[in-house]
Copies of this chain bind each other. A is one copy, B any other.
Amino acid sequence: MRETTLRDVADLAGVSPRTVSNVVNGYARVTDATREKVERAIAQLGYRPNVLARNLATGRSGQIVVVVPYLDTPYFAELLQGIIPAARKLGYNVLVDQTDGDREHEGELIGRGSRRFLFDGMIFSPLGLSQEDLAVRDPDLPLVVLGERVSDGTFDHVGIDDVAASTDAVTHLFSLGRRRIAAIGDQPYPTGEAAQLRTQGFRAAHAAHGRPVDESLIISTARFNRADGATAMAALLDHADPPDAVFCYSDLVASGAIHTLHQRGLRVPEDVAIIGYDDIEDGRYSSPTISTIQPDKKAIAQLAVERLIKRITSTEPVPGVELRAEHRLIARESTLGIS
């Protein structure tokens, strides 16, 4: 049994497809009498428009896609809580796609792929793709990039000032009297730009305090997960001269690091102070609660959505801009102790 189409409705109502379309979309004025006739037919037939056909005809879908490396990273999950309502309010539905940070998959998505037509625009958080890879993107796809890449002028970029934020974090540790500060999360390779900016801030804070950086206290990790933090912390504790504080490049890393410290019977912050990054909910409830850098997620979400939709709706080419959201340091028990 075939789906009922707009034409079926038109036939039953005794009007033309044009009129039915008008009624369905609230276009043009339609006589109340006609409208009612049509609506009755729609109800009777259980008609629903085929959104695919509509999209094909109009060339727009009303959907935007948010592409993230991992959906189980709380930072993204929390960011989406801002993005989704912001987009809905502006009449767009949000769908989410996970890439696993896979370079190829990411490339397909921003490239001139055929899925292009499914979405009016994309908010993209790259992981596997280097800055250069971004260049091969589809120039027709309205795009906003999240994170640490710099716009090439054809898309917008929104993030926070990672270097400054990282400097703040490490400065906080210095101000607490810590002197041997480690860093967990560096990624010294092309796609590790986010991590490298944080390392840069780590160094800047040392410089500002006239302290040399002990390179052996900078631990690289493949990702920013709990497991990475746990492993790296273990390595630091096996160091001949272990740190008295650690700057972790995410709250998940911090959570893993704290886990290892507890396993080894060490206290946080008495033995080792820990500060994270992202301000995920987890850190507000864990024991100890985790000091962190709090990016203004709502602002990031709002900016990203606004820019994207401006890009979608504008007929002129929109120049790409760099948008910077605020951040602040939130000091909690993992550095201050229990008050």
Contact = CB atoms under 8 A, between A and B. Distances in A.
Interface of A: 46, 48-56, 61, 63, 65, 71-72, 74, 77-78, 80-81, 84, 93-98, 112-118, 226, 230, 255-256, 258-259, 262, 281-282, 284-287
Given A71-B80, A259-B285, A259-B287, A46 B117 contact: no
Nearest to A73: B77
A287 B285 contact: no
Nearest to A99: B84
Contact of A52 (B94, B118, B262): B118
Contacts of A94: 97-98
A97 B98 contact: no
B114 A50 contact: yes
Copies of this protein in the complex: 2
Nearest to A289: B259
Contacts of A117: 50-53
Contacts of A97: 93-96
Nearest to A258: B287
**Chain A's interface: helix, strand, loop or mixed, by majority?**
helix
Contacts of A258: 285, 287
A220 to B, nearest CB: 20
B71 A74 contact: no
5 contacts: A51-B118, A53-B117, A54-B114, A96-B98, A118-B118
Contacts of A54: 114
B113 A48 contact: yes
Closest CB pairs A-B (n = 8): A72-B77, A95-B95, A96-B96, A259-B285, A51-B114, A52-B117, A52-B56, A49-B114
Nearest to A112: B48
Contacts of A282: 255, 282
Contact of A256 (B48, B81, B262, B285): B285
Contacts of A256: 285
Nearest to A95: B95
A112 B258 CA distance: 49
A115 B94 CA distance: 13
Contacts of A61: 52
A84 B98 contact: yes
Contacts of A51: 114-118
Contacts of A118: 51-52, 63, 118
Contacts of A116: 48, 51
Contacts of A77: 71-72, 77
A78 B259 CA distance: 20
A262 B285 CA distance: 10
A61 B118 CA distance: 10
A69 to B, nearest CB: 12
Central interface residue in A50, A71, A117, by most chain B CB within 10 Å: A71
Contacts of A74: 72, 74
